Structure 1
């Protein structure tokens, strides 16, 4: 943008719009000689200053210019700030050299920066939340597994003091030294099916040991007396906390054992033969009722 005269502004804008003086004359009804005088800044050639101001105003209106700026320049005899226009008067073409305004991208930059900050904060919160919850779960599971492992190791480390004694035809098995419970395991040792009963357990009514279900396992409380019925002691293997109970000397027939579990290290003394005999008779009767021959055949 540079300073130009009023006439130069009018002439350059007319040429830029591709208009001729004759066209301007018809549009605003001003003689061509006066139009030329305006473009040449020859205001003295005009009838009077009044006409000069009137012609400038009409000419500016026709070209779409701000007549107030031109009139102020006329009154003050000053130049007009105007966009540079390269004029090719020979071919009647013009090229306006406009200075592009430099747009400010700061608001967009700040908006993007704030958005990224918000997204980053949300992402960090979600990541931290998910990480903390994922990390807590394995710790809990690991802690539970460790407790179970310690409990299992404690049970395995509890070596029992096991004794087997037969008094008046009654076989007593005493297991002492357990802290809380004793693990009873009865496995079928041969390929022949047999049966077992264990009082105060799920096998109290009798349980068949077959190829599909060859074992019975139960945790027994301490300081208690259990009655174990065996269809044939020679067909099973009995263990307490993983320790084998020797049953080789028992006859190959239905036998009832009296198992006593104790937390004390000393063995309990066997019961009287009369009491044991009555118990064995009672268990034998329960066994006959609980395990009919039809169930064993199945």
Structure 2
């Protein structure tokens, strides 16, 4: 990892850029950039973000970010293999005194008897509860007949089936919104309506993201697991994520089919 950091630092200095310049362009904090260049990723919250930062940093400098990530994976695998070969845990053998073995045997036997006794008590309680249940109420037909005799009738709103328009609207909400086109690292969606409202939740883990509404950055933050955010725009909204498998997205109340990517990916929504 230190070799990759040296490559990035050398390329940055070759271009005459400071860490502040890199932070402004990529939105990656300076302390994370320093950690990458020094080869110490302990300051970065999670390997998903570390890989995403390395790739974004490298591509901004004009390097092949994917190739550097592959090199990082190879170096990490070799280092872990060496550590496993060098460190072998010593096997210890504990001799248990004969008296202690007998004590453990009696303890286990007593616990087993206790468990069986508890199971018998629970079983008897269940049987008693089942036998004490009251008889079922009269059939529903009798209740219906009584209502008819009293002149009661079901209201039309309760018995009327859903119209075709209501069914279509329900199906649209349940059907995920699919992209109309895709390109490298991008998915494009058409949204029905004059405005766009996007809700992002993170039920499966943390996710860094940036939100651009009508050409203006309105958010750049990290959602922790369980967080939820809502953003609105007029005619276009762009959502840039760092860990799309961790999030769920809805647009105008309709779930969105997301490309599952560990790393930077952009989702573009346009109102029709």
Q: Output the TM-score relative to the length of structure 2.
A: 0.32
> Which structure is larger by alpha-carbon Rg, 1 or 2?
1
TM-score w.r.t. the length of structure 1 is 0.29
